[in-house]
Chain A
Amino acid sequence: MIAFTLNGQPVACDAPATERLSETLRERLGLKGTKVGCDAGDCGACTVLIDGASVCACLTAAAQAEGRRVETVEAQTPTLTRLRAAFLRHGAAQCGICTPGMLMAAAELLARSATPSPHEVETALAGVLCRCTGYRKIIAAVCDAGQGDGGQGEAGQGDALAHDGSAIGQRLARLDGAAKVAGDSFGADEAPAGALVIMAIRSPHAHAAFSIGEMAEFASTPGVVAIFTAADIPGRNAFSAIPAFADQPAIASSPARFRGECVALVAFEPDATPDIASFPIRWTQLPALTTPEQAEAAGAPLIHANRPGNLLVEGRVRKGDAAGALASSAHVVAGTMQTGFVEHAYIEPEAGAAWMDADTLVIRACTQAPAMDRDDTAAILGLPLARVRIIASAVGGGFGSKLDVSLQPLLGLVTLKTGRPSRMVYSRQESMTSTTKRHPAEMQGRIGCDAQGRITGMEFEGRFNTGAYSSFGPTVAIRVPVHVSGPYRTPNIIAKARAVHTHGPVSGAFRGFGVPQGALWQETLYDLLADKAGIDRLEFRILNAFRDGDASATGQVLQATGIGPCLEALRPHWARALREASHDRHLRRGVGVASCWYGCGNTGLPNPSTIRIGITPRGEVVLHQGATDIGQGSNTVIPQIAAEALGLPVTEFRLIGPDTTLTPDAGKTSASRQTYVSGRAAQAAGAALRRMILRLANAGEGATLALDGTVLTIRDAAILRHLDLAALPPDARGYALSAEETYDPPTTGLDADGQGKPYALYGYGAQMVELEVDTALGTVRLLKFTAAHDLGRAINPTLAEGQIEGGIAQGIGMALMEEYLPGRTENLHDYLIPTFGDVPPVESLLIEVPDPEGPYGAKGLGEHVLIPTAPAILNAIRHATGAEITRVPALPHRVLAALPQQVLAALKGAP
């Protein structure tokens, strides 16, 4: 028996002595607020206090808590109360998975330093990783909670954008925030009683044949309930993000096509020690195609028999005569750019549970796309859609990788076959090896301009390593050519991108669908071109920026083009930064800029969202909000839009969903589409409900609504009406009044030359970075970002800034440190993501060029914010030193190797 004090109360439990304290707290004592992100002390999500000192509960033996005082995020202390309030006020919690760890580390800090400086906060909290926020708002929140003044400046930023009396433009704290700062309920946090524990057998090789031996002995191991292989899949054992490409098995039959692929499942009794080391499987390693070059070589074996040349898809955009234009251009630059696999590295590994509800299979798991999960899981298990219900847990970060199904069909299979509830929690290594990555890219081409610096033409060819299965590879191959001009007038262009299969990890969706890779190529080349033309790099971009009425590379005539205003907003900052960019011995300062544009929603394909709003007979406003909030804020932004359209305060709304039974399909949280597409649906539903009410009251458009108990009051200049909701006959949905509306962006498919109107609206942005390169070591220290983003209308400026800061943090990682190497960086200490000290202050300039197609003019923002960051950094490195980096990450040894001789010579001469 282990006895200790837990949050002020004595507890005792009979955990094994060396059980991780995190497991004891979560599984034996039922406190699920302590999160597990890595089980290795790398992420700090499981931080608790023991006798006031922060520790990783995953590295602490349960027995080491004996007789001591343990505090978790469930503790109610004055310090935690202040911290929680400050986190909500500042938007310091996005997805919420790291929040308990952050809060506990901050509580330790405030106990020894009541009013910490930002630097003290950074150092004290550095043991906790966050993938969403970019850390700056956390620093501000902790300073604020300590009543220091470190966070005040940032907290007040952008208040001028608030629109009085309207839900739109309000810096509303997240509506789901209280749960985030209390320890929200993620995929691993809800398990039905008696749930079987599922473990997957995974391929240790990139390409290997396997045979499963006699299973009787293993099956008789105490605690083993059942074993499943591909042969047990009752339906179609193939899925893909895009149904037409369905190729990925939920459980593979031989051969396995990538390291980490699932080949069998074992279901254990809940109280068993799940050990799969002795699972009877024999592997025969096969030659692996690890690069697209190998996969495209003449005679290379086919990874999928129906895809000649191992080519998944080639996307293409052609307009005008690029070769001719380049031949007659005053200036032409050519260049290459290479990127590697990038891991999403959300702090929540995939997790979920399944159970039967009569005939219906219910799966509750982390996801970005509940309806797609339902469709894929039903197909794999051979069930009609009506028998599968997907409930989205809170999602601890997604960034694209939780769009594809992962463990949903595995949970479903076990529960369906055994009739028992089941649960599955990926280890960090499983999460990293088995789920999708950002596509590695090899890109090359030329860009030209005339003597005045106007872009004349572009040739681009990109090859993208799409890994073993399709996932979102087709989307990447199509999106890149559409966007690779950048937000600049390019009258002549030929752009091609191939998604090529290898035996690598599956490359899929990751914040930007290949556009960030393309931007690295094009934006670094534009800097070279501006220099060649003798034009300031920012002015070169302003000169070429799309303006209303310009046609894009796909021939689409653009409206509400915000790139010019974004770049122009940077002018004073640019001038200041250039003045301040000096060199001091080995430290050289530089300034870089890069732009982005990004079409919101699916590319030329239907992409509807449906939102339902009802008012119950008891006077409760219910929003069926099926747009999964993975931290970006749809649980707040969609209600703000709905409230504005309906005309009732957002505080009256209760949210339901996402849940495929309770919420209509609001599509996937992807392609920066929720604020725009689901927002338009919410606006339409709110407006429809409002029309219904006004009609009942015979009131005019400008009437105000008020809800008091079951009475809805409608007032305008002429009338005052009281509507007793309880007296209305319930409608078909059980509401006194309700409306449901669908919005689908008006787009057209692309023709063979990639011409068409692929997106109904685009968002724009430009980021500027100031940095310092240590020319003796090749290290880069970031000093400041200034980020101007046109989001049409800032529905919630605090959340918008949170997106910008978080996107920049991921862009920093891509530029300077992140590369996933199968077999070598399958954890969060070898795979480096930015820590507290790696994200400098960010000044966000929210630019509002309303798009008539967006709700209240709003555009998407979530992916845009990552696109310019990495190229801006490379451009600033070149500005500082002359080093032309053509491969990311720009690790110190690569930067040092790229330094021009004169910089190194100057160093030797330095005192």
Chain B
Amino acid sequence: MRDYLRAETLSETVAHLALGGWRILAGGTDLYPGAGSRLIGPVLDLTSVAGLRVIGGDPDLLIGAASTWTDISQAILPQSLRALQQAARQVGGRQIQNTGTIGGNLCNASPAADGVPPLLALDAEVELVGAKGTRRMALSAFLIGPRRTALQPSEVLSAVIIPQAALSGRSAFVKLGARTHLVISIVMVAVRVVLDGDRLREVAIAVGSCSGTARRLTQVEAAMAGVPLRQIAQVVRREDVAAALAPIDDMRASADYRITAATELVARAFAEAAA
């Protein structure tokens, strides 16, 4: 087996993965920092795989897994993906955005992965390709826990799919940390809303860095349907937010603070999305 292979097609990728033993490399922004002084192979490089950086499609929107954050932030996308584009502009610095990929962000499965809350709020699905075929699953099912996903060693995450139903509405992403740039967030929030006049019709809320994986706040969402915009702040209740999350005390913030901040940021994200 070679130490390094740069695949050019998805079928070639899958054929190699079936043999086992590969680590997948795309932007390298998570793989290298975890590699110590040297990255030891065998490494299968996806960055030249045809079609893996495509963004588009109809009726569902497909984002190729090797799309970089810069690809995403510069693409012309519906308003409902604004949160994802805002997140894309806050992943590390420009250098990280130029190489880090959305697929890598999901497969790395950090509790603080910036791409996850916006995608959860979009009911995103992931497409996994293996020797036995292609399967699709909800992102929420794909992310099993911190640093754990449903990806099999013989599979590759090929695309993120936003179902047509989630392409409506507007969205916003808010990230909180102790400094301005290069933030590993204390809390991050993505919301997507579909308005009916000045009332909320559909609502999706996802919060990251406050549990092992980012979560949707379904109870809060249910409470918000039909609520007039000006009443959002009163309807987002701390106890509902707390019930949906499982934050921990760590060096960045206390668990209690995370709940307080998440509650506040949900209200602010709504205000921004609806503005």
List the interface of chain A (C-beta within 8 A of B).
Answer: 16-20, 39-42, 44, 47, 53-56, 58-61, 63-64, 66, 105, 108, 123-129, 273-274, 427, 776-779, 816-817, 819, 821, 824-825, 827, 829-830, 832-838, 889, 891-893, 896-897
CB distance from B234 to the nearest CB of A (A): 10
Contact of A63 among B37, B40, B45, B251 (CB under 8 A): B45
In contact, B253 and A126 (Cβ under 8 angstroms): no
Binding-face segment, B28-36, B133-141, B163-171, B218-226: B28-36
Is B179 interfacial (CB-CB < 8 Å)? yes
In contact, B180 and A838 (Cβ under 8 angstroms): yes
Max count, chain B CB within 10 A of own CB: residue among A55, A273, A889: A55
In contact, B184 and A47 (Cβ under 8 angstroms): no
CB distance from B207 to the nearest CB of A (A): 14
In contact, A18 and B251 (Cβ under 8 angstroms): no
In contact, B93 and A18 (Cβ under 8 angstroms): no
- A sample of 10 inter-chain contacts (CB < 8 A) reads A19-B38, A41-B32, A53-B70, A59-B32, A61-B25, A105-B94, A833-B179, A837-B179, A838-B179, A896-B260
For residue A40, which residues in chain B have a CB less than 8 angstroms away from its CB?
Answer: 32-33
Q: List 20 extra interface pairs beyond A17-B3, A17-B41, CB under 8 A.
A: A18-B4, A19-B38, A44-B95, A53-B70, A54-B98, A55-B99, A56-B99, A59-B95, A61-B25, A61-B43, A63-B45, A126-B93, A127-B95, A128-B93, A779-B176, A832-B179, A836-B180, A836-B181, A889-B178, A892-B176
For residue A17, which residues in chain B have a CB less than 8 angstroms away from its CB?
Answer: 3-4, 41, 43
In contact, A41 and B176 (Cβ under 8 angstroms): no
Contact of B29 among A59, A105, A833, A889 (CB under 8 A): A59
CB distance from A427 to the nearest CB of B (A): 7
Contact of A835 among B94, B98, B181, B253 (CB under 8 A): B181
> A39-B33, A127-B92, A896-B260 in contact; A825/B45 too (CB < 8 A)?
no
In contact, B47 and A64 (Cβ under 8 angstroms): yes
For residue B38, which residues in chain A have a CB less than 8 angstroms away from its CB?
Answer: 18-19, 273
- Number of B residues near A (Cβ < 8 Å) is 44
Is B264 interfacial (CB-CB < 8 Å)? yes
> A18-B4, A39-B32, A126-B93 in contact; A893/B257 too (CB < 8 A)?
yes
- Interface flags, B96-133, vs A, CB<8A=1, else 0: 10110000000000000000000000000000000000
In contact, B179 and A776 (Cβ under 8 angstroms): no
Quick one: closest B residue to A51, CB to CB?
Answer: B98
- Interface flags, B145-184, vs A, CB<8A=1, else 0: 0000000000000000000000000000000111111101
Task: Give A889 to B251 CA distance when docked, in angstroms.
Answer: 11
In contact, A824 and B251 (Cβ under 8 angstroms): yes
Interface hits, B33-78 → A, CB 8 Å: 33, 37-41, 43, 45, 47, 70
For residue B93, which residues in chain A have a CB less than 8 angstroms away from its CB?
Answer: 44, 105, 125-128
Interface hits, B250-275 → A, CB 8 Å: 251-254, 256-257, 260-261, 264-265
Task: Give A889 to B178 CA distance when docked, in angstroms.
Answer: 10
CB distance from A570 to the nearest CB of B (A): 26
In contact, A892 and B261 (Cβ under 8 angstroms): yes
For residue A126, which residues in chain B have a CB less than 8 angstroms away from its CB?
Answer: 93-94, 180-182
Is B6 interfacial (CB-CB < 8 Å)? yes
Contact of A891 among B41, B182, B252 (CB under 8 A): B252
Max count, chain B CB within 10 A of own CB: residue among A59, A64, A777: A59
For residue B25, which residues in chain A have a CB less than 8 angstroms away from its CB?
Answer: 18, 61
In contact, B179 and A41 (Cβ under 8 angstroms): no
CB distance from A585 to the nearest CB of B (A): 11
> A64-B45, A274-B37 in contact; A829/B178 too (CB < 8 A)?
no
Is B186 interfacial (CB-CB < 8 Å)? yes
CB distance from B261 to the nearest CB of A (A): 6
Contact of B264 among A58, A59, A777, A827 (CB under 8 A): A777
In contact, B92 and A41 (Cβ under 8 angstroms): yes
Quick one: closest B residue to A38, CB to CB?
Answer: B33
In contact, A124 and B94 (Cβ under 8 angstroms): yes
For residue A778, which residues in chain B have a CB less than 8 angstroms away from its CB?
Answer: 257
Task: Give A339 to B47 CA distance when docked, in angstroms.
Answer: 46
CB distance from A413 to the nearest CB of B (A): 22
For residue A817, which residues in chain B have a CB less than 8 angstroms away from its CB?
Answer: 178-179
In contact, A891 and B184 (Cβ under 8 angstroms): no
Task: Give A54 to B184 CA distance when docked, in angstroms.
Answer: 21
Task: Give A170 to B33 CA distance when docked, in angstroms.
Answer: 44
Max count, chain A CB within 10 A of own CB: residue among B39, B95, B179: B95
Task: Give A39 to B33 CA distance when docked, in angstroms.
Answer: 6
> A61-B4, A776-B264, A891-B253 in contact; A56/B96 too (CB < 8 A)?
yes
Quick one: closest B residue to A817, CB to CB?
Answer: B178
> A44-B93, A821-B251 in contact; A896/B257 too (CB < 8 A)?
yes
Is B27 interfacial (CB-CB < 8 Å)? yes
CB distance from B89 to the nearest CB of A (A): 8
In contact, B251 and A835 (Cβ under 8 angstroms): no
In contact, A835 and B182 (Cβ under 8 angstroms): yes
Task: Give A701 to B91 CA distance when docked, in angstroms.
Answer: 64
In contact, A39 and B257 (Cβ under 8 angstroms): no
For residue A897, which residues in chain B have a CB less than 8 angstroms away from its CB?
Answer: 257
Interface hits, B171-201 → A, CB 8 Å: 176-182, 184, 186
In contact, B181 and A41 (Cβ under 8 angstroms): no
For residue B180, which residues in chain A have a CB less than 8 angstroms away from its CB?
Answer: 126, 835-838
> A832-B178, A835-B180 in contact; A127/B4 too (CB < 8 A)?
no
In contact, B37 and A18 (Cβ under 8 angstroms): no
CB distance from B217 to the nearest CB of A (A): 18
Quick one: closest A residue to B177, CB to CB?
Answer: A832
Quick one: closest B residue to A21, CB to CB?
Answer: B28
CB distance from B178 to the nearest CB of A (A): 4
Task: Give A104 to B118 CA distance when docked, in angstroms.
Answer: 31
CB distance from B262 to the nearest CB of A (A): 10
In contact, B176 and A777 (Cβ under 8 angstroms): yes
For residue B256, which residues in chain A have a CB less than 8 angstroms away from its CB?
Answer: 893
Contact of B28 among A59, A129, A834 (CB under 8 A): A59
In contact, B251 and A127 (Cβ under 8 angstroms): no
For residue A825, which residues in chain B have a CB less than 8 angstroms away from its CB?
Answer: 251
In contact, B3 and A41 (Cβ under 8 angstroms): no
Task: Give A128 to B43 CA distance when docked, in angstroms.
Answer: 28
CB distance from A217 to the nearest CB of B (A): 21
For residue B253, which residues in chain A have a CB less than 8 angstroms away from its CB?
Answer: 891-893
CB distance from A122 to the nearest CB of B (A): 8
Task: Give A893 to B247 CA distance when docked, in angstroms.
Answer: 14
For residue B184, which residues in chain A have a CB less than 8 angstroms away from its CB?
Answer: 829-830
CB distance from B250 to the nearest CB of A (A): 9
Task: Give A54 to B92 CA distance when docked, in angstroms.
Answer: 13
Quick one: closest B residue to A126, CB to CB?
Answer: B181
For residue A61, which residues in chain B have a CB less than 8 angstroms away from its CB?
Answer: 4, 25, 28, 39, 43, 45
> A63-B6, A105-B94, A896-B257 in contact; A18/B41 too (CB < 8 A)?
yes
CB distance from B33 to the nearest CB of A (A): 4
CB distance from B135 to the nearest CB of A (A): 29
Quick one: closest B residue to A429, CB to CB?
Answer: B36
In contact, B95 and A41 (Cβ under 8 angstroms): yes
> A126-B181, A837-B181 in contact; A55/B98 too (CB < 8 A)?
yes
Lowest 9 A-B CB distances belong to which pairs? A127-B93, A837-B180, A17-B4, A893-B257, A126-B181, A40-B33, A835-B181, A59-B28, A18-B39
For residue A824, which residues in chain B have a CB less than 8 angstroms away from its CB?
Answer: 251
In contact, A60 and B176 (Cβ under 8 angstroms): no
Task: Give A696 to B147 CA distance when docked, in angstroms.
Answer: 78
> A17-B3, A18-B41 in contact; A891/B178 too (CB < 8 A)?
yes
Quick one: closest B residue to A62, CB to CB?
Answer: B4
Task: Give A108 to B95 CA distance when docked, in angstroms.
Answer: 10
